[in-house]
Amino acid sequence: MEQLQQLMSMMNAGCSALSWKTQDGKHLWGRNMDFNRLAQGSKISFIPRGTSYYMRGTTMENNLREQERRTSAYAAVGTGFLMIPSTPVLYEGINEKGLMGGQLYYREFAHFEQQVREGTTALLPPFVVYHMLAQCDSVQQVVDTLQQQVTSLHWAFSDSTGEMAVIEPDVDGLHIYRSTVGVMTNSPGYPWHRTNLLNYVGLRDLDYDEWELEDNRLSQCFSGSGMQGLPGDWSSPSRFVRLAMLKKFGVKGQDEAHGVANMMHLFQSAAFPNGMVRVSQEGHLTEYDVEVIPYDYTIYTSVMCAESKRFYWTSYENQRVQYVDLEQLKSRTQPVQFELGREPDFLCVTPQE
């Protein structure tokens, strides 16, 4: 039960998600994970196709039901937690069909249904991302599947078409937004964030040169006046606007490698520096919560490519980009985990005498 409570507390993490495209047509999706801790045992996790798992319940609670057991159709890799024997947990990831997605905190808006509606199947919130990646081959299939589930929080999924869908379970039902601007943060819901962009339609990427006031001409004395007025704090609305403008004006990489590198820079603009956002609601702590600090910060950033099936990441402590290749892993029949590598890693290029 403590492990399940720990997983539920991870749902309180603030996050930013973004879909992007390279000049040569590669489709990328990624996210920042912003929180004041990471569940013990969280690693880059590969889960093979053919894995048996349950949609709700756990072995610890002794409440598993055979009719809620499934077998994965696709292999997947992402940041996850394999300490619950009955079901893997992924915070975000990519499967062998190029479907990518993850969960984002939906504070004060996510609505839990108390009863399973007729014609739907219950699905425990921490299991949603893995279940979608295990069973679906596209955003369209995610949409069709989630309409038959009982869900909470909110999610973003993308694939090789470039579409990013946002799924939000509100008090008046499940809302699925297709063909979005390709950005999502946290509360409020996606329609509010989309409308809020109208407050920033005057932003432009060009520096202002000279300004006339009566008979005075004021010459610009500093660079960087393009995007003047862009919000710079770490609230969900401000991060949404920043990422939307970065996506619109940011230079796309000519290929996957440059696209991933450029996208990491976009995420850095929305990342929480440690010490700037002090936690007011610590949430439920368990014996498995280690290295809990009083600040939310960007623990890691991940970027995936729908075409290559590679999963890239950096951590707060280690900005060197690491990756695993799902194409090389997918023939394996047993789960594999890789350390996040959260120790500083510097490359010395000074010649050694």
Residues designated as active site: 15
Compute how many other C-beta atoms are within 10 angstroms of the C-beta atom of residue 322. 16
- In angstroms, the CA 152 to CA 168 distance is 7
The dihedral through the CA atoms of 136, 141, 143, 148 has a sign that is negative
Contact 153, 167 (CB under 8 A): no
Compute how many other C-beta atoms are within 10 angstroms of the C-beta atom of residue 336. 15
Residues contacting 192, CB < 8 A, separation 6+? none
* Burial (Cβ within 10 Å: 0-12, 13-18, ≥19) of residue 265: exposed
Q: CA 288: distance to chain centroid? A: 23
CA distances from 256 to 21, 32, 173, 182, 197 (A): 9, 19, 38, 18, 29
- In angstroms, the CA 86 to CA 59 distance is 6
* Burial (Cβ within 10 Å: 0-12, 13-18, ≥19) of residue 178: exposed
Beta bridge partners of 174: 169
∠ CA 80-26-309 to the nearest 5 degrees?
A: 35
Tell me whether strands 43-47 and 76-81 are parallel, antiparallel or unpaired. Answer: antiparallel
In the numeric block, the tokens 């297709």 are attached to: 178
